[in-house]
Amino acid sequence: MPINELYTKKVDVDNLIPGDIIANDIYLTNGALVIRNGTILSDRHIEALQRMGKRIVTIDIRNVYINAVEDSKIIMKKAEDGKNITPEEVKTAISPILREVKRERNVSRLLLELQSQDEYTFQHTINIGVISLSLAKWMGCTDNDELVRIAMAGTLHDIGKSRIPRPILRKPGKLTPGEFEIMKKHVFFGKKILEKDGTYGSDLECAILQHHERIDGTGYPYGLKGDQIHSYAKIVAVADVYHALTSKRVYKDKVNPFRVLEHLKKNIDSLDTEIVLTFIDNMLNCLLGCTVELSNGEVGKVIFTDRDKISKPLIKLEDRNEVLQLGERKDIAISDILVV
């Protein structure tokens, strides 16, 4: 069965880690098969590849996502049953995906990979962990322990939803004001779940309790403002709003990150300005060079992006040797991203 391209990754042999799975057969120059596709790499394999002088190999990362979703289901179920969840358990569950975040510099590609998982709740959980970690790195955090804690805060941010009645949690339409009041309690339930274990620390508890607080005081549960909100909560909030926008699917079946980043910028007053702009700049950087489909059916490559005209980058058209300034064409928009 051919592996979907989104689930493979080209990796320099020096960045291989034991446990990586090879996605293509690897041959010597004389045609002899050295490593078969599907092989789980050991230290010995990696050394052999280095000795061969092979620089780039393709690995299969399907299981990273499948396992991450499975593990987050188990954690959510334990929370639902009132069982204790330890920080070690959460760390173990997210460590393979954190490894990919460290290896994959192009976070927008990672996020697209994650979007192909169909179950929203679990996809959301992992996405927020990945985005929060990337954001913390982009904000200049280099302390590995702290990065892991921020990723854990992102992953656990909605754990309290495990205590919200299912009919409210899964209601397809808009919640009534009464239902919304119940939904808001997930931040308290989340904090309680962490407190039950008692070893998460106040920074993670704050992040979970405050991830719906907004800089301008319009958030909940306490209507905190500015610096009253913990920095982890501010990071998780940006990740949460971004992912909520991508999942609304109001634009098209497939999500167009340019439009979503533009919407995020419109929400900037309620979020931390520096974090939002750092996120937008880095995401745009990741999207530079991606192949897009335009609303007139043409295909091209993004060759220049601009924070002030997020959804109107410069496009080099594939068929004609021409650069299209989307900013000057109100009649054409990006309709889809084909390759990141």
Residues that bind Fe ion (CB under 5 A): 158, 240
> Which residue, 232 or 284, is less far from Fe ion as judged by CB?
232
Beta bridge partners of 8: 60
CB 310 to Fe ion: min, Å: 23
Both structure tokens of 224: 């905190």
As measured in angstroms, the least distance from the Cβ of 125 to Fe ion is: 8
Shortest Cβ distance from residue 47 to Fe ion (Å)? 43
**Smallest separation (angstroms) from Fe ion to the CB of 244:** 7
Provide the CA 278 distance to its chain's centre, in angstroms.
15
Least separation in angstroms between CB 56 and Fe ion: 37
Taking the least distance from each CB to Fe ion, the nearer of 11 and 164 is: 164
Number of CB atoms found within 10 A of residue 91's CB: 15
Report how far residue 10's alpha carbon sits from residue 12's, in angstroms, rounded to the nearest whole number: 7
- In the complex, minimum distance from the CB of residue 186 to Fe ion, in angstroms, rounded to a whole number: 6
Cα radius of gyration rounded to whole Å, the chain: 22
Please report how close the Cβ of residue 188 comes to Fe ion at its closest, in angstroms: 11
CB under 8 Å to 188, separation ≥6 — which residues? 160, 209, 221
Cis ω on the peptide bond leading into residue 257 (within 30° of 0)?
Answer: no
Cβ proximity to Fe ion: between 71 and 240 the closer is 240
Task: Tokens for 111, please give them.
Answer: 């996020």
230 Cβ contact list (under 8 Å, min separation 6) = 203, 206, 207, 210
- Shorter beta-carbon distance to Fe ion: residue 59 or 128: 128
CB 255 within 8 Å of CB 115:
yes
DSSP-derived letter for residue 40 is B
Cβ nearer to Fe ion, comparing 125 with 256: 125
Compare residues 148 and 236 and give the one whose CB is closer to Fe ion: 236
CA-angle at 41, arms to 39 and 45, nearest 5°: 105
Q: Which is nearer to Fe ion, 210 or 256 (CB)?
A: 210
204 alpha-carbon distance from chain centroid: 19
